[in-house]
């Protein structure tokens, strides 16, 4: 019988098709090996045949009907290494019950469907598809190359209940995650520093938040790298101070009118002015809250003014702007503003470093959102290694919640 279907559709060559049968809505191809046998261990041709073992391999479906390849696998005794074992099957990996073509087909489906959907469509178990996907990610992403790294971003992400954290390191030039550490803080980065030293990478700058643990870790292990505090984390910290002030003022307010105005304004204070919804009178509500609460207004307008720091013409102009902003914040007499001004004064070099290396951890925040979306879509990953491997490959996929 013709073997062209086996070769072109299933990637099976070097085997003779003996017969085809239809069993329980499945297509079964019976094949035999057409060439000589050799040892799977030492590749020697000096072997003695010791019987066969029939094996069934799942292959790609034909018109949504499952297909199988049945092969009597020869057992041989090698005269060179004295090993008795089965010969290699060219179209399937060792200890696998599916063909290489079926594995490629399943991986293509995994790029556009969930593991559960692929397993249901192909009529196989969830674990089999997950094993195929995990082997692919381990082969491609298990050890990201570090030698080419120049600009990094470091941040942590909460991955579920119990305040479980992961520390993520990203290559800002490619957008790829190059390290995932368990926990947060300096200890989580210890394995990364070892790998980075072995790789011999020359890191020029690192974008991060103003965490003392990360600052000390980078300063100790990358003394030549410049630390950059980006816009996102600075404004995020300021927003936390602004929310704290609003809660304090609400608790201390004695007039019911002021309480009513302050109530429900949290997101209005944190949102950028250009994003306020005019149809819902959000701008009017915000202006009313600021008019009745002078300390809140002072903090809000200084926050909006601070955003201009990252829009200056050059580093000298940014230095003058920052110095002026710190003076105004200290002169306001508001405790929260004074504390934040002192924080920025102590981190002045990292803030101004933005004008030497215009990098930000913004892409890393996008990756953090992808991780959360990935976990929601999969209802969490119990296999910790598989979860980490999926994070390493996030820059190659797109996630979207639908329904």
In tens, the pLDDT along 366-384 reads 788 788 777 766 654 677 8
Number of domains in the chain: 3
49/74 Cα distance (integer angstroms): 7
Surface-to-core class of residue 175, CB atoms within 10 Å of its CB (0-12 exposed, 13-18 middle, 19+ buried): middle
Same domain, yes or no, for 347 and 363? Answer: no
Same domain, yes or no, for 181 and 221? Answer: yes
Same domain, yes or no, for 330 and 366? Answer: no
| Structure-token pair, residue 233 | 């984390």
* Residue 107 placed within a domain: no
Among residues 82, 97, 112, the one where a domain terminates is 97
* Residue 112 placed within a domain: no
- Looking at residue 203, which CATH number applies to its domain? 3.30.420.10
Quickly count: other Cβ atoms within 10 Å of residue 360's Cβ. 19
Surface-to-core class of residue 89, CB atoms within 10 Å of its CB (0-12 exposed, 13-18 middle, 19+ buried): buried
* Residue 120 placed within a domain: no
| Structure-token pair, residue 30 | 């019976």
19/36 Cα distance (integer angstroms): 21
262/289 Cα distance (integer angstroms): 6
310/72 Cα distance (integer angstroms): 70
Same domain, yes or no, for 245 and 351? Answer: yes
Low-confidence ranges of the chain (pLDDT < 50): 1, 254, 256-264, 266-270, 290, 292, 380, 401-403
Among residues 52, 73, 97, the one where a domain terminates is 97
Same domain, yes or no, for 187 and 245? Answer: no
* Residue 137 placed within a domain: no
* Residue 111 placed within a domain: no
- Note whether 305 and 345 are within 8 A (CB): no
* Residue 134 placed within a domain: no
Local structure of 22: helix, strand or coil:
strand
Same domain, yes or no, for 265 and 349? Answer: yes
360/351 Cα distance (integer angstroms): 11
Same domain, yes or no, for 246 and 346? Answer: yes
* Residue 158 placed within a domain: yes
Same domain, yes or no, for 364 and 376? Answer: yes
Same domain, yes or no, for 217 and 243? Answer: no
Residue 377 has a pLDDT of: 63
Determine phi and psi for 318, rounding to 5 degrees: -65, -40
Quickly count: other Cβ atoms within 10 Å of residue 57's Cβ. 24
* Residue 117 placed within a domain: no
Same domain, yes or no, for 236 and 302? Answer: yes
Cα–Cα nearest to 233, from 332, 328, 340: 340
Same domain, yes or no, for 245 and 350? Answer: yes
Cα–Cα nearest to 208, from 233, 189, 178, 183: 233
Among residues 30, 63, 97, the one where a domain terminates is 97
Question: 217-221 long-range contacts, Cβ below 8 Å, gap at least 24?
Answer: 217/186, 217/189, 217/193, 218/154, 221/189, 221/193, 221/196, 221/197
In which domain, by residue range, is 80 found? 1-97
Contacts of 41 (CB under 8 A, 6+ apart): 78, 81, 83, 85
Same domain, yes or no, for 265 and 217? Answer: no
Its pTM stands at 0.76
- Note whether 165 and 184 are within 8 A (CB): yes
328/204 Cα distance (integer angstroms): 33
Residue 403 has a pLDDT of: 40
Question: 8-12 long-range contacts, Cβ below 8 Å, gap at least 24?
Answer: 9/60, 9/62, 9/101, 10/59, 10/60, 10/67, 10/69, 10/91, 10/99, 10/101, 11/91, 11/99, 11/100, 11/101, 12/59, 12/69, 12/90, 12/91, 12/99, 12/101
50/56 Cα distance (integer angstroms): 20
Residue labelled with tokens 């215009």: 358
């Amino acid at each position: 019988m013709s073997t062209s279907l086996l070769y072109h559709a299933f990637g099976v060559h070097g085997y003779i098709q003996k017969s085809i049968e239809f069993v329980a809505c499945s297509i079964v191809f019976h094949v035999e090996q057409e060439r000589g046998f050799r040892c799977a261990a030492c590749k020697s041709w000096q072997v003695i045949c010791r019987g066969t073992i029939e094996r069934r391999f799942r292959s790609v479906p034909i018109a949504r009907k499952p297909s199988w390849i049945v092969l009597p696998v020869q057992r041989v005794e090698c005269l060179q290494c004295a090993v008795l074992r089965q010969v290699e099957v060219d179209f399937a990996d060792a200890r696998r019950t599916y063909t290489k073509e079926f594995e490629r087909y399943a991986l293509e489906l995994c790029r556009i469907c969930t593991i559960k959907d692929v397993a249901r469509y192909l009529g196989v178990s969830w674990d089999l598809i997950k094993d195929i996907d995990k082997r692919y990610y381990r082969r491609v992403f298990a050890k990201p190359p570090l030698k080419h790294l120049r600009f990094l971003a470091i941040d942590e992400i909460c991955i579920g209940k119990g305040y479980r954290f992961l520390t993520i390191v990203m290559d800002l030039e490619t957008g790829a995650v190059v390290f995932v550490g368990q926990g947060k803080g300096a200890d989580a980065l210890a394995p990364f520093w070892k790998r980075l030293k072995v790789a011999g990478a020359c890191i020029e700058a690192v974008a991060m938040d103003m965490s003392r643990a990360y600052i000390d870790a980078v300063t100790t292990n990358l003394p030549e790298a410049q630390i950059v505090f980006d816009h996102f984390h600075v404004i995020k910290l300021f927003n936390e101070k602004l929310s704290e002030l609003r809660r304090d003022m609400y608790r201390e307010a004695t007039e019911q009118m002021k309480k009513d105005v302050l109530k429900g304004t949290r997101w209005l204070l944190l949102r950028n002015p250009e994003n306020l919804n005019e149809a819902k009178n959000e701008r009017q509500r915000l202006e009313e809250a600021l008019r009745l609460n002078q300390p809140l207004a002072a903090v809000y307008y200084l926050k909006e003014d601070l955003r201009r720091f990252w829009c200056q013409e050059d580093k000298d102009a940014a230095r003058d702007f920052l110095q002026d902003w710190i003076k105004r914040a200290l002169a306001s007499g508001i405790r929260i503003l004074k504390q934040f001004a002192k924080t920025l004064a102590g981190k002045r070099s990292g803030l101004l470093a933005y004008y030497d290396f215009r990098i930000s951890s913004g892409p890393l925040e996008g990756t953090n959102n992808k991780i959360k979306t990935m976990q929601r879509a999969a209802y969490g990953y119990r296999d910790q290694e598989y979860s980490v491997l999926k994070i390493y490959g996030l820059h190659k996929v797109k996630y979207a919640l639908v329904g």
